[in-house]
């Protein structure tokens, strides 16, 4: 055994999980990541069909050019994270099949936040897969009615969604299980009341990494809305920034893939594994929120 190999074995013995080389070895970069990146060049519509791609281990990208949808697989059933729009569902199902999986083996549908671009496809996906849908308590009335919450800063901007019944709600810190899969719920409100982020482990042989699917943290609203008039909506952003900064985060994925340069990373142009990615995302989002509040203040 080489000295390098011995060091890896020692670390494995100490940590129980082999360390990932950082940046990711080029051997990991699969051609399908490059195909996905090329297919989506200049296209980022919510329902712009994209080819699927393996991200790492049992976690796959099955979304569109504009909206991330992830499939986490196991021999005892799969978890689907987010559902894009209803228009995107045929391509999501085609992507699951193209990867060699059966949509009817999806057991659980979960997601980021209660807006049409991420959960608008839930009703059609539930019908096609037979899976249970679970969302946060705050997201439930929106998903079951298809109507935005009246206190959502984007209320009136977003079209209604096809409603879907929810099998149960999620609580912060809960670990949801499907077969051997374990995904941890992180309540990250701000962009919406029900915003949720997720972490889970995926492995390739002895190499394991923690995925962080971090919900949108942008302060978006209709034109006449002022966050400076709603300190109760600013405080959750600050708390969410603190949480995400501390989240285990080897492989960051965001619901809008551009916010985490996902396609560039899958194409091998940037490292897929970047343990500073969550902290860097929070820095950017925090500066954006501060800039928005400063702009509103200047208009007073
Ligand atoms: Zn949104």
Please give the distance, rounded to the nearest whole angstrom, from the Cα atom of residue 49 to the centre of ligand 1: 20
As a whole number, mean pLDDT of residues 292-300 equals 85
Helix axes 231-246, 277-298, angle to 10 degrees: 160
Q: Is residue 259 part of a domain?
A: yes
Q: Report pLDDT digits (tens) over 143-192.
A: 999 999 888 988 988 899 999 999 999 999 999 999 999 999 999 999 99
Please give the distance, rounded to the nearest whole angstrom, from the Cα atom of residue 282 to the centre of ligand 1: 17
Q: How far is CA 126 from the centre of its chain?
A: 18
Best CA proximity match to 86, nearest among 50, 125, 131, 127: 125
Give the 3-state secondary structure of 96-162. HHHCCCCHHHEEEEECCCCCHHHHCCHHHHHHHHCCEEEEECCCHHHHHHCCCCCCCCCCCCCCCCC
pLDDT, the chain, mean: 90
d(CA 128, CA 162) in angstroms, rounded, equals: 14
Please give the distance, rounded to the nearest whole angstrom, from the Cα atom of residue 119 to the centre of ligand 1: 10
182-218-35 Cα angle (round to 5): 65
Please give the distance, rounded to the nearest whole angstrom, from the Cα atom of residue 95 to the centre of ligand 1: 23
Q: How far is CA 222 from the centre of its chain?
A: 24
As a whole number, mean pLDDT of residues 261-285 equals 96
Report the C-alpha dihedral over residues 15, 188, 69, 277, rounded to 10 degrees.
Answer: -50
Q: Is residue 2 part of a domain?
A: no
Please give the distance, rounded to the nearest whole angstrom, from the Cα atom of residue 92 to the centre of ligand 1: 19
Cβ distance 277 to 261 under 8 Å?
Answer: no
Q: How many domains does the structure of the chain reveal?
A: 1
> If you write DSSP's letter for every residue of 249-293 in order, what string do you get?
-SEEE-SSGGGGTHHHHHTTSS-S--TTHHHHHHHHHHHHHHHHH
Q: Is residue 84 part of a domain?
A: yes
Q: Is residue 5 part of a domain?
A: no
Q: Is residue 6 part of a domain?
A: no
Q: Is residue 11 part of a domain?
A: no
Please give the distance, rounded to the nearest whole angstrom, from the Cα atom of residue 245 to the centre of ligand 1: 20
Q: Report pLDDT digits (tens) over 100-133.
A: 999 999 999 999 999 999 999 999 999 999 999 9
Cβ distance 71 to 129 under 8 Å?
Answer: no
Answer yes or no: is pLDDT of 92 > 90: yes
Please give the distance, rounded to the nearest whole angstrom, from the Cα atom of residue 89 to the centre of ligand 1: 18
Residue 82: which CATH number? Answer: 3.60.15.10
Residue 145, Cβ neighbours under 10 Å: how many? 12
246: CB partners within 8 A, 6+ apart? none
Please give the distance, rounded to the nearest whole angstrom, from the Cα atom of residue 204 to the centre of ligand 1: 32
Structure tokens at 199: 């972490």
Please give the distance, rounded to the nearest whole angstrom, from the Cα atom of residue 281 to the centre of ligand 1: 16
Please give the distance, rounded to the nearest whole angstrom, from the Cα atom of residue 30 to the centre of ligand 1: 30
* Domain coverage including residue 40: 30-298
Please give the distance, rounded to the nearest whole angstrom, from the Cα atom of residue 191 to the centre of ligand 1: 6
Give the full edge-to-edge strand order of the sheet including 53-56. 53-56, 59-61, 70-72, 78-81, 106-110, 132-136, 168-170
- Helices (H) then strands (E): counts for the chain: 9, 12
What is the Cα Rg of the chain in Å? Answer: 19
Please give the distance, rounded to the nearest whole angstrom, from the Cα atom of residue 117 to the centre of ligand 1: 7
Q: Report pLDDT digits (tens) over 186-243.
A: 999 999 999 999 999 999 999 999 999 999 999 888 888 899 999 999 999 999 999 9
For residue 26, the model assigns a pLDDT of: 44
Burial 211-248 (b: 16+ CB within 10 A, else e): bbbbbbbebebeeebebeeeeebbebbeebbebbeebe
Give the 3-state secondary structure of 19-50. CCCCCCCHHHCCHHHHHHHHHCCCCCCCCCEC
Please give the distance, rounded to the nearest whole angstrom, from the Cα atom of residue 264 to the centre of ligand 1: 23
What is the value of pTM for the model shown?
0.90
- The half-sphere exposure of 277 on its side-chain side, counting CA atoms within 13 A, is 25
Q: 3-class DSSP state for residue 187?
A: strand
Answer yes or no: is pLDDT of 15 > 70: no
What is the share, in percent, of the chain residues with pLDDT greater than 90?
Answer: 81
Answer yes or no: is pLDDT of 14 > 50: no
Please give the distance, rounded to the nearest whole angstrom, from the Cα atom of residue 182 to the centre of ligand 1: 25
Please give the distance, rounded to the nearest whole angstrom, from the Cα atom of residue 62 to the centre of ligand 1: 19
Please give the distance, rounded to the nearest whole angstrom, from the Cα atom of residue 146 to the centre of ligand 1: 14
Please give the distance, rounded to the nearest whole angstrom, from the Cα atom of residue 81 to the centre of ligand 1: 15
What is the share, in percent, of the chain residues with pLDDT greater than 70?
Answer: 90
Q: Is residue 234 part of a domain?
A: yes
Answer yes or no: is pLDDT of 263 > 50: yes
Answer yes or no: is pLDDT of 255 > 90: yes
Q: Is residue 108 part of a domain?
A: yes
């Amino acid at each position: 055994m080489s000295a390098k190999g011995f060091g890896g074995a020692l670390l494995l013995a100490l940590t129980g999980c082999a360390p990932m080389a950082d940046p990711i070895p080029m051997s990991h970069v699969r051609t399908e990541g490059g195909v996905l990146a090329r297919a989506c060049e200049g296209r980022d519509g919510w329902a712009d069909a994209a080819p699927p791609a393996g991200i790492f281990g049992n976690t796959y990208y099955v979304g569109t050019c504009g909206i991330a949808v992830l499939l986490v697989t196991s021999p005892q059933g799969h978890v689907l994270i987010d559902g894009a729009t209803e228009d995107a569902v045929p391509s999501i199902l085609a992507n699951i099949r193209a990867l060699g999986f059966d949509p009817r083996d999806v057991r659980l549908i979960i997601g980021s936040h209660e807006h049409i671009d991420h959960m608008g496809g839930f009703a059609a996906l539930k019908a096609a897969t037979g899976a249970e849908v679970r969302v946060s308590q705050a997201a439930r009335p929106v998903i079951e009615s298809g109507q935005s919450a009246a206190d959502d800063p984007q209320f009136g901007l977003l079209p209604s969604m096809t409603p879907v019944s929810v099998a149960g709600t999620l609580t912060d810190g809960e670990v949801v299980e499907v077969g051997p899969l374990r995904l941890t719920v992180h309540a990250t409100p701000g962009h919406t009341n029900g915003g949720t982020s997720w972490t889970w482990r995926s492995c390739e042989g002895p190499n394991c990494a923690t995925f962080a699917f971090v919900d949108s943290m942008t302060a978006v609203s209709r034109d006449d809305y002022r966050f400076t008039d709603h300190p109760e909506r600013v405080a959750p952003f600050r708390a969410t920034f603190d949480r995400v900064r501390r989240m285990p985060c080897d492989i960051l994925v965001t619901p809008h893939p551009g916010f985490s340069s996902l396609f560039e990373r899958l194409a091998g142009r940037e490292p897929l594994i970047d343990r500073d990615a969550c902290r860097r995302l929070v820095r950017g989002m925090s500066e954006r929120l501060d800039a928005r509040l400063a702009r509103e203040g200047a208009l007073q």
